[in-house]
Chains A and B, each alone.
Chain A
Amino acid sequence: MSMQRRDFLKAGAAGFAVSLAGCAAMPGAAPKARVAVVGGGYGGATAAKYIRMLDPTIEVVLIEPNEAFVSCPISNLVLGGFKSMADITTPYTGLARHGVRVVRDTATAIDLERKQVRLARGDPVGFDRVVVSPGIDFMWEAMPALGSLDAQARLLHAWKAGPQTLQLRRALEAMPDGGVYVLAVPEAPYRCPPGPYERACQVAAYFKAAKGRSKVLLLDANPDVTSKGPLFKRAWSELYKDIIEYRPNSKAVDVDFRASVVKLDFGDVRGDVLNVLPPMKAGNIAAPFITANRRWCEVDWQTYESKAAKGVHVLGDSLQIAPLMPKSATMANGHGKVCAAAIVALINNEPPNPSPTLINTCYSMVSGKHAVHVASVHKYDERDRTMKAVPGSGGVSPAMSEIEGNYTMNWARNIWADTLG
């Protein structure tokens, strides 16, 4: 134990030297290995930071096109008018303090032969191992009207927090009182199972405060609310009666921008603001590693190494989920840490941890103050080589509460600091 600690101190000192010298020129000692991380979200940024924390002699390059991190969790509160874009934005500068080199560029391909990530603008980034954590992209082909890039850009999804979050907020502000906001939810699995139902609450909270004759129409492709169902339904009836209308088994199959209509299997639904979430799949850069249903990437749950390619690790919402594992921020953050520890072990020729665990804690704000949660703990099952929820653990809130609203914001601050700080 004292031995490990001494090694850690030694490694820390080496890391300090690297970070001092790294900016100006190559340090005297060449790094042990280089890991490229594609995507600076909850999965990728966490993996990048934790690799450096665990072994500062490994060089880490994070490739991310956005200037700052904008959180999907809490972004629905921007729609509700309770938070600003600044509140959900965190700079990438914190990662530099850990010696992560952040390259602001778009990864265009992962070249496994040359072991390089190709970039839209800059020189390729070579790697010994690569972490791919691009989140989700949309299956545009699911809706005929979304065939062109123009139509895709016009679709208001706000399911990747950023400019579209603000655009949707402005559309809601511009909507006349008495208007209808339509939110179309795709069949599970999709990013953030409770997200659409939380969004319905947030938009309804805004309508209740600012334009009382307006309606939220929730068109759900699923037969029922996919997460925290009884809790959301109670919030809808107690807080937003006559504002939110929920229609299960209502799958959006197309959209008509000109008529402002969402097309269902049976009939059209007109709305003043359309917020359609097309079906989702692994982020485009991860396409070569998709192995499940032409949508998601399968991995070894001890290392997050892709089942399609050695030396490639996939994290976060791009994954084919294990049973009862949601596509959530806390999960992606957890994937990042298990993967970071495994990569450090593999580079140092040590065995990775044979029994990784994950916790999911997912809060939803049902008003400006009240929240509900779902929590679960997942452990590695040796026989089935997957992560499984631990029987008897986990659960949901008994009811919405202000204290959980308070914990929601504390969760956000701590996970943002854990991912990027």
Chain B
Amino acid sequence: MKARAKVLVAGLAAAVAAIASAQQPAPPPPSFAAPNVSEQGARSMAATCAACHGTGGRSASGSSVPGLAGRPAESTVEAMKAFKDGKREATLMHQIAKAYSDAEIAALAAYFAKQPQ
């Protein structure tokens, strides 16, 4: 009984919150800093890939997640664009790839191509 009353209260609160948010003007679109595609910028972007693909794109031996180090730039660009356009099936790379512009993808691919395997 008590639990039910709490559920009702929570439902009411959620409804009020939904109405309040519907009345708020949409937030302005983000104003992201210009993509940094310099050598330093590409290195910084590439570092965010390492949690899954290994430091410098060198994946742990036997890993089912492919390494990126030393991979030809065209091949990385092609894969990223296919993920981005939804042409290549993935578990999560299609969700990640959508965050990067063509220029950022090119800079990332060029950076990884130069890394030792």
Contacts and interface: CB of A to CB of B under 8 A. Distances in A.
Interface of A: 1, 4, 50, 223, 247-249, 266-267, 330, 333-334, 337-338, 341, 353-359, 361, 373, 375-377, 379-384, 388, 390-395, 397, 401, 403-404, 406-407, 410-411, 413-415, 417-418, 421
A404 B91 contact: yes
A407 B52 CA distance: 8
Contacts of A248: 10
B79 interface: no
A73 to B, nearest CB: 11
Contacts of A382: 31-33
A36 B95 CA distance: 37
Closest 10 CB pairs of A and B: A377-B99, A355-B33, A393-B99, A390-B99, A383-B31, A395-B95, A393-B98, A337-B47, A359-B48, A415-B51
Contacts of A1: 39
Interface string B20-47: 0000000001111111100111011101
B31 to A, nearest CB: 4
B65 interface: yes
B53 interface: yes
Nearest to B43: A341
B33 A380 contact: yes
Given A248-B10, A249-B6, A414 B99 contact: no
Contacts of B39: 1, 4
B19 interface: no
A63 to B, nearest CB: 23
Contact of A381 (B10, B33, B91): B33
B98 to A, nearest CB: 4
Contact of B51 (A4, A330, A394): A330
A379 B92 contact: no
Most buried by A among B29, B51, B59, B63: B51
Contacts of B33: 354-355, 379-382
12 contacts: A4-B39, A373-B92, A377-B99, A382-B31, A394-B96, A394-B99, A395-B95, A404-B91, A407-B65, A410-B59, A411-B51, A414-B50
